[in-house]
Chain A
Amino acid sequence: NAGVTQTPKFQVLKTGQSMTLQCAQDMNHEYMSWYRQDPGMGLRLIHYSVGAGITDQGEVPNGYNVSRSTTEDFPLRLLSAAPSQTSVYFCASSVDRGGGYTFGSGTRLTVV
């Protein structure tokens, strides 16, 4: 089925470990973004991309890295995990920044 595929669904990391959250979409969307969702708060934008080769920082980019080598893939890298990065992460894509969004199923990350 067409959509946004996000992996893994769950992950536990130790402080200082690194990992990559994968995000892939097959809708030929130009705009892709990563959000984190914390209890009682709205989604916060981490990084976004308006097309292959173009990325930019969002509201909370520290501790995260992204790249966009293809239109389909937009991985999010945690460089050195910290307990403050315990959250639920969502990847989303849309035709453009103003369009309707399609979300991945989310990754629940716990850093101990």
Chain B
Amino acid sequence: KNEVEQSPQNLTAQEGEFITINCSYSVGISALHWLQQHPGGGIVSLFMLSSGKKKHGRLIATINIQEKHSSLHITASHPRDSAVYICAVLMDSNYQLIWGAGTKLIIKP
């Protein structure tokens, strides 16, 4: 069983829809990262959070430490949001990052 599971693996939606990507983990963590990888391959850090909720523009990330679960939401989705979204957790035991396999998001105009 993977220590970090993302769902769904693939998601196709229409422009304007509200998007939710989920990340569940099974280890104790000190922080959780959400990153975005564009079709060109570059990886950009979106959020790092250890509790509660963070918002940047149309992106919102939440984490529930007790349930070992995080969600990334995109409001008013746009084709330029099409990318792979990756969740990674920083283990509190050894400070290693454990990576999810990513969620491929396609937003159709």
Sample of 6 more A-B contacts, CB < 8 Å, known A42-B2, A43-B86, A102-B45: A42-B98, A92-B43, A97-B90, A103-B44, A105-B41, A108-B41
Tell whether B101 is near chain A: CB-to-CB under 8 Å: yes
Mark A residues whose CB is within 8 Å of B: 40-45, 58-59, 88, 90, 92, 97-103, 105-106, 108
Contacts A90-B43, A103-B42, A105-B42; is A41 near B101 (CB within 8 Å)?
yes
- A40 and B35 CA atoms in complex are apart in Å by 16
Contacts of B99 in A (CB 8 A): 42-44
- A28 and B30 CA atoms in complex are apart in Å by 24
Q: Return the chain B residue nearest A42 by Cβ.
A: B99
Main SS at interface, chain A: loop
Whether A42 pairs with B41 at a CB distance below 8 angstroms is: no
Minimum CB–CB distance from B50 to chain A (whole Å) comes to 9
Contacts of B86 in A (CB 8 A): 42-43
Contacts of B96 in A (CB 8 A): 45, 58-59
- A102 and B42 CA atoms in complex are apart in Å by 10
